[in-house]
Amino acid sequence: MTDAPPTKRKCLGADCDNDAGSLQCPKCLTLGVKDSFFCSQECFKRNWNTHKTLHKQETSIFDRIFPPKAVSKPDPETGYYNPFPNFHYTGALRPVYPLSPRREVPKTIPHPDYAEDGIPKLGRSMVRSNKVELLDAKAQAGMRKVCKLAREVLDIAAAAVRPGVTTDEIDEIVHKACLERNSYPSPLNYNHFPKSVCTSVNEVICHGIPDNRILLDGDIVNLDVTLYHEGYHGDLNETYYVGDKAKADPDTVRVTETARECLELAIKEVKPGTLFREFGNIIEKHAKAKNCSVIRTYVGHGINSVFHCPPNIPHYAKNKAVGECKPGMTFTIEPMIALGKYRDVTWPDNWTSTTVDGKKTAQFEHTLLVTETGVEILTARQANSPGGPVAVPTTEATTNGTN
Ligand SMILES: [Zn+2]
Ligand SMILES: [Zn+2]
């Protein structure tokens, strides 16, 4: 619903009484002017000579107040600002800076090797060789433990999701819950990621940075939690509905539940002998049946004493991933499913990945252990875990409010 322009909006053409269509002046968009809607390409062209004088005003105001490429003006009341005002955002979401100061982890908690300088070192030779590690009983126990703790932390964070809370507040909750479990929040400073959890709202595919934006009724938010505990990483994520509006919107529920189902269907096939490339076929088949697309840029990954290592698990069909499941392997499957196009655009923060058309996207992730007979879901939901499946509302139920 947030993707369509409001129907009462009028065309900006001076000689035109039509309602505006979805065409926005591209120059205005780059200037951060969000209301320049026209009814048609013809009207836009006809009015160009008068309309373009607006750009000069906008540009000169910007040039006077800010040095080139500077940030937008902080809100005088809150101090919040958009750090990339000239960026062509694909949807309605904007970053709300400043980010909170970096959260500290006491030295007594074991840190992964990238914690200081942001550069992961362990496992780089393995990434090159494509060799998948087989974990012995002791390592499997270590994985079991960290994944259980990661589930606890995700559930604590999920319980805080509601309209009005900021993603930075969720980051604080995750950070604190990690420390209480003698664990390092793995995302913190991993390749210089600035926060302890990824929070991905609406059109954000993954790697959203917690900031001062509040969650709104109608949003969906993915929380991607990874802990480092006693030498092992445990990684999982889920997408949550924010408020009742989100649960009442058929498209929002469709993309979220499809992502949840895609992961479940793929996990059913995890057992010795299954080819890694097969998971993408299963996932894309289901996504297509629900009229959704599969993001191709980001993949599932091996995980153990290294955060990201072989194998690669693409989520799209007809991929060329090499290798097969063997007992003792631990890896994630984490399909990202979109309502619109599968292509992605990354914000200038070099992390936040969004859909190219600004339509919603959802994701679910588990860390999995291949056993002799099948699979152990190391990050499995508990009986009291927040979230869980929601039925797609029918048009009738949403209009008369009886459901
Ligand atoms: Zn994750
Ligand atoms: Zn992951």
Q: Which tens digit of pLDDT belongs to each residue from 157-210?
A: 999 999 999 999 999 999 999 999 999 999 999 999 999 999 999 999 999 999
- Model confidence, pTM: 0.81
19 is in an annotated binding site: no
Average pLDDT, the chain: 89
Q: Which two tokens stand for residue 155?
A: 């559930």
- In order of their start, the domains of the chain are 1-65 (no CATH), 124-400 (3.90.230.10)
**CA separation, residue 93 to residues 3, 8, 9, 305, 359 (Å):** 11, 22, 20, 35, 11
pLDDT mean over 3-30: 68
Q: What tokens does 187 get?
A: 């995302």
Segment 137-153 shows an average pLDDT of 98
The conformational region for residue 126 under phi > 0 = left, psi -120 to 50 = alpha, else beta, is alpha
Q: How far does residue 398's CA lie from ligand 2's centre (Å)?
A: 35
pLDDT digits (tens, 9 = 90+) for 287-324: 999 999 999 999 999 999 999 999 999 999 999 999 99
Q: What are the tens digits of pLDDT across the range 200-215?
A: 999 999 999 999 999 9
Q: What is the pLDDT of residues 96-122, one digit of tens each?
A: 999 999 999 999 999 999 999 999 988
The closest of 343, 361, 368 to 258, measured between CA atoms, is 361
Which tokens belong to 180? 């209480």
For residue 162, the CA-to-ligand 1 centroid distance in Å is 21
> Mean of the pLDDT values across residues 273-299?
98
- Structure tokens given for 23: 């065409």
Q: How far apart are CA 98 and CA 231, in angstroms?
A: 33
Residue written as token pair 């006077």: 64
CA of 237 to the centre of ligand 1 (A): 5
Q: Which helix (H) or strand (E) holds 71?
A: none
Find tokens 């101090």 and name the residue. Answer: 79
Tokens encoding 395: 């048009």
Among candidate residues 108, 126, 118, 109, the one with its CA nearest the CA of residue 305? 126
From the CA of 206, the nearest ligand is 1
Say how many Å lie between the CA of residue 104 and the centre of ligand 2.
23
Phi/psi zone of residue 54: left (φ > 0), alpha (ψ -120 to 50 degrees), beta?
Answer: alpha
| pLDDT higher than threshold 90 for residue 329 | yes
Owner of token pair 């058929």 = 250
- The confidence band for 53, taking pLDDT boundaries of 50, 70 and 90, is low
Determine if residue 365 is labeled as part of a ligand binding site: yes
What is the distance between the alpha carbons of residues 103 and 68, in angstroms, rounded to a whole number?
Answer: 31
Rounded Cα distance between 347 and 94, Å, is 10
Does the pLDDT value for residue 71 go beyond 50? no
* Per-residue pLDDT, 99: 97
Split at pLDDT 50, 70, 90, the class of 139 is very high
pLDDT at 35: 66
What is the mean pLDDT of the segment spanning 365-391?
A: 98
Backbone angles phi, psi at 131, to 5 degrees: -80, 130
> What average pLDDT does this structure show over 355-380?
98
Give mean pLDDT, residues 350-371.
Answer: 98
Annotated ligand binding at 136? The verdict is no
Reply yes or no on whether the pLDDT at 62 is more than 50.
no
Q: pLDDT > 90: what percent of the chain?
A: 75
CA pair distance 102, 287, nearest whole angstrom? 38
The residue type of 339 is L
Q: Would you state the pLDDT for residue 359?
A: 98
Closest CA to 240 of 213, 264, 259: 259
Q: Cα torsion for 38, 41, 42, 46, to the nearest 10°?
A: 60
